[in-house]
Amino acid sequence: MTDETPGITGAEQALGGTSWNVVGQTYTPKLHSENVMIWHATVPADSFVPPHIHPTQDEWIVMLDGELQVEFGDQVHIAGPGDTVRMPRGIAHGIFNRSGRTASCVFGVAPSRKIFALFGALDGVTDPAELARISALHEVEFLPPPDAD
């Protein structure tokens, strides 16, 4: 679903009433076009997105409330309210909520490519192998766990 009409997606609204549960987090799309996708995320304490790479998209997070740790390899950055996290295409990153409380933020990717379809396909998936398989079909590559050789 794309929506390139002028207007407002309200704070409690999502495009087409869509909401996804992706790795225990709630994602609600706010804007989707060929060029960009923006979604609100509610990130519960102790949830995370494992390290992965977007080879075809730049990604960013604007923090609204709470705190997230973003890892680029062995570099750990802590983002809080008002901060913007930049995750350029081709660079592995993982996103972790280790703060003990729920975080709220706005994610975006550009160009949008297959991300909308990816979230629809991942809605409710809990098996890590299936998450990685589906993601690879949508241009997102999850890295193997550190102890997997």
pTM for this prediction: 0.92
> What's the confidence (pLDDT) of residue 1?
62
Its sign, for the CA torsion 9, 114, 148, 85, is: negative
Question: Cis link prior to 55 (omega < 30° from 0)?
Answer: no
As assigned by CATH, the class of the 21-139 domain is: mainly beta
Domain boundaries in the chain? 21-139
pLDDT for residue 149? 47
pLDDT of res. 144: 83
Question: Which residues, given as ranges, of the chain have pLDDT below 50?
Answer: 148-149
